[in-house]
């Protein structure tokens, strides 16, 4: 909605409506790449970076689509832009920072199917954010995604040491853990006047 302050938009995407734990976006990498804290950091930062870029692209594309009155092409153009943004990030990273590329390389293709990124582009369009608001929203969403995946990785590293019944090993226990994490994030719901 126009008129929301930048800090509220950031906090909203970061904590109150955390993309992973409250809106259920990006669950696949959240469960798949949260085994170790290091890789979780890398995945979080790579996603946050792609979120920022695709949010900026999506903003301008939407302007063009609205100008020509062809909004029904929104979904197709967004996903095409995200896929090419990921490709672009991958190529430029390979050229300018091979060290970072080697750390993030395997995660980059995965990001294309991360629905948090497409979700971000769609939500900022639905909420009719202007350019600076979109920037703030994408930064908050990226930070929130990174926070959630790193917290989860920390919990799972501790869990490795715990003795659990063999039935509950693996995905079942991870989901229970994610539920508890999500429950604790609901405590932030009161921030910002219960929006």
Partner 1 sequence: MSQNKTTAVTMDDFLSGIWRENPVFVMLLGMCPVLAVTNSVINALAMGLATTFVLLGSSAIISLLRHWIPKEVRIATYIVIIATFVTIIDYAIQAISLELYNALGAFIQLIVANCIILGRAEAHASRQPLLKTLTNGLGMGIGFTIALLALGSVRELLGNGSLLGHDIFGAHFEPWVVMILPPGGFFVLGAWLLLFNYIREVKKQKRLAESRAASGTTARALV
CB of 101 to partner 1, least distance (A): 20
Nearer to partner 1 among residue 97 and residue 175 (C-beta): 175
Binders of partner 1 among 8-47, rule CB under 8 A?
21-28, 31
Q: Single out the segment in contact with partner 1 by CB under 8 A; choices: 47-55, 97-105, 106-114, 132-140.
A: 106-114
The kind and range of the H/E element at 8 are helix 6-11
113 is a site residue for partner 1 (CB under 8 A): yes
Is 56 one of the binding residues for partner 1 (CB under 8 A)?
no
What is the C-alpha to C-alpha distance for residues 121 and 103, in angstroms, rounded to an integer? 26
Task: Please spell the DSSP secondary structure of 82-126, one letter per residue.
Answer: HHHHHHHHHHHHHHH-HHHHHHHGGGHHHHHT-HHHHHHHHHHHH
Q: Are 105 and 134 in contact (CB under 8 A)?
A: no
**Binding range to partner 1, per CB under 8 A, among 53-61, 88-96, 116-124, 152-160:** 116-124
Cβ 164 to partner 1, closest distance in Å? 11
Least distance CB 68 / partner 1 (angstroms): 17
Cα–Cα distance between 195 and 170 in angstroms, integer? 35
- If one asks whether residue 162 binds partner 1 (CB under 8 A), the answer comes out as no
First-to-last alpha carbon distance for the chain, in angstroms, is: 12
Is residue 100 within 8 A of residue 93, CB to CB? The reply is yes
Q: Which residues contribute to the site for partner 1 (CB under 8 A)?
A: 21-28, 31, 72, 75-76, 79-80, 83, 112-115, 117-119, 122-123, 126, 166-176, 178-180, 182-183, 186
């Amino acid at each position: 909605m126009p008129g929301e302050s930048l800090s509220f938009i950031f906090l909203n995407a970061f904590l109150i409506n955390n993309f992973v734990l409250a809106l259920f976006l990006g669950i696949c990498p959240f469960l798949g790449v949260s085994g170790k804290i290091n890789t979780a950091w890398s995945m979080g930062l790579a996603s946050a970076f792609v979120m920022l870029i695709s949010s900026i692209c999506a903003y301008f594309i939407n302007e063009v689509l609205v100008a020509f009155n062809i909004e029904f092409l929104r979904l197709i153009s967004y996903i095409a832009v995200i896929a090419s943004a990921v490709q672009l990030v991958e190529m430029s990273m390979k050229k300018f920072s091979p060290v970072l590329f080697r750390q993030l390389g395997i995660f980059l293709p995965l990001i294309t199917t991360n629905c948090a990124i497409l979700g971000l582009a769609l939500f900022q369009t639905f909420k009719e954010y202007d350019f600076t608001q979109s920037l703030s929203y994408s930064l908050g969403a990226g930070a929130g995604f990174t926070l959630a995946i790193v917290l989860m990785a920390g919990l799972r590293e501790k869990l490795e040491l715990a003795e659990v019944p063999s039935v509950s090993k693996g995905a079942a226990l991870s989901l229970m853990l994610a539920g508890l994490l999500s429950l604790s994030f609901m405590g932030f719901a009161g921030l910002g006047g219960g929006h």
